[in-house]
Amino acid sequence: MKILVINSGSSSIKYQLFEMDKKAALTTGLVERIGLDGSRIKHKIFRNGDAAEVIKEIPIKNHQQGLERVAELLMDSEVGVIESPAEIAAVGHRTVHGGERFNSTTIITDEVVAKMRELIPLAPLHNPANLEGIEVARQIFPQATQVAVFDTAFHQTMPAAAYRYAIPNNYYTEHGIRAYGFHGTSHLFVSKAAAEYLGKPVADTNVITAHLGNGCSITAIRGGRSVDTSMGFSPLPGLMMGTRSGDIDPAIIYYLGTKLGMPLADIDKLLNKQSGLLGVSGNSDLRDIEARQASGDAEAQLALDMYTYRIKKYIGAYVAVLGRVDALVFTAGVGENSPYVRQHSCAGLENMGIKLDAAKNRSDSRALREISTADSPVKVLVVPTNEELEIANQTLAAITQN
Ligand code: ADP
């Protein structure tokens, strides 16, 4: 059975086609610069252990055209992997915001689309692009069941004490202002993999998962259920990120508006696109910052100090939330690849039972691996995330249950 996973953004569509019998990706690709100059499709196919990539530089006016070209590539005589769109049993859509309405993976109907439209004010940038992807996939793959996998759904198990903000109740009851949390698919995937590695039932396993990519979030998971997470009403709070500030005093926003006369749109841009690692060091890519730090650059050093200090603070907070922690998991681009960040985020946490093994931490293995000392009460793991596979698995589960 084949499942197509789609992540539709405002000017891009990422896709991956899975053969579910083997849990293997047959193709992966990216349509980029939709509606802009220089639009193109990067399409990669995996055959017999080899990968080959084709790049098509073609005008792509909108998402409809983009997905039509993808369907053609999937059926292409040279780089294709299917003969007819009907071979695709289901399309799993990565969907950013499900609000409180969607707490699990959901088969898409007209009613579901209507409810998702009602949620647009909560995610004005992401949900319209996700809906666009859903609308065109329904036209191009009409035989396939369309399934929505929400980034927020995994965190719907948080208790009110964790998700409510201490502002008057009506802002929650009338306007839905609460913490929702994001990156749920990744936190779920790596926490399940960690429990499996530990050989424990998910229901008995407590894990802290640190997803450190361009966006960063950290989650406390008790018995397979998210009980707290660092992102909130939006993906802005919590850890310091590539270009997002993470936690700041909200009074700064008021100050920027009143004292500096900054329009709200500029403040939004400042905190989401010009802050974080970029704002402090001038680079958003951690590799560049690590290279500068190694040659003694003070701004790069400060950015790394702030970045790892914030992670450490959240780990400490989530040890307190969980009481007992079986594993601390690092994942995503930085979490999987930066020994420096892992080392400095865990330094000084030995009394909390977190003891890193310096040599294991430096290993350049790409696989799931343990990087704590043999006597560390909390296992520290590096678990490569695979959000697309998790979306495909959840899509499969949704269509086989119905
Ligand atoms: P996204 O959130 O866009 O999916 P990724 O999970 O790919 O992001 O993570 C991107 C981040 O990972 C970038 O800051 C990049 O510098 C960092 N990264 C990737 N490889 C390495 C590496 N070898 N060492 C340090 N950082 C890395």
Q: Which CATH number fits the domain that encloses residue 313?
A: 3.30.420.40
Q: Does any domain span residue 158?
A: no
Q: Is the CB of 287 under 6 A from ligand 1?
A: yes
Same domain for 315 and 257, yes or no, is: yes
**Token digits of residue 326:** 């079986």
Where helices occur in 222-297 by DSSP H, the ranges are 251-258, 264-273, 276-281, 286-294
Residue 47: predicted pLDDT = 86
Q: Is the CB of 241 under 6 A from ligand 1?
A: no
Same domain for 286 and 378, yes or no, is: yes
Atom of ligand 1 nearest to the CA of 284: 14
Task: Give the residue-averaged pLDDT of 224-236.
Answer: 98
Q: Does any domain span residue 83?
A: yes
Domain total for the chain? Answer: 2
- pLDDT bracket for residue 49 (50, 70, 90): confident
Residue 151 a catalytic site member: yes
Q: Find tokens 């730090």 and name the residue.
A: 293
Residue 202: predicted pLDDT = 98
- Which domain, by its residues, includes 79? 2-150
| Integer-rounded Cα radius of gyration of the chain | 21
Same domain for 146 and 204, yes or no, is: no
Q: Does any domain span residue 70?
A: yes
- Tell me the CA–centroid distance for residue 334 and ligand 1, in Å: 5
Q: Is the CB of 9 under 6 A from ligand 1?
A: no
Amino acid letter, residue 74 = L
- Tell me the CA–centroid distance for residue 333 and ligand 1, in Å: 3
Query: What are the φ and ψ backbone dihedral angles of 234, each rounded to 5 degrees?
Result: -135, 175
Residue 275: predicted pLDDT = 98
**Token digits of residue 162:** 């964790």
Same domain for 287 and 145, yes or no, is: no
**Proportion of the chain above pLDDT 70, given as a percent:** 100
Among residues 21, 37, 151, 228, the one annotated as catalytic is 151
pLDDT tens by residue, 315-374: 999 999 999 999 999 999 999 999 999 999 999 999 999 999 999 999 999 999 999 999
Same domain for 215 and 121, yes or no, is: no
- Tell me the CA–centroid distance for residue 284 and ligand 1, in Å: 10
The answer to whether residues 230 and 219 touch, using CB atoms and an 8 Å cutoff, is yes
Residue 102: predicted pLDDT = 97
pLDDT tens by residue, 144-195: 999 999 999 999 999 999 999 999 999 999 999 999 999 999 999 999 999 9
Same domain for 355 and 209, yes or no, is: yes
Rounded CA separation 390/194 (Å): 14
Q: Which residue has a Cα nearest atom 3 of ligand 1?
A: 214
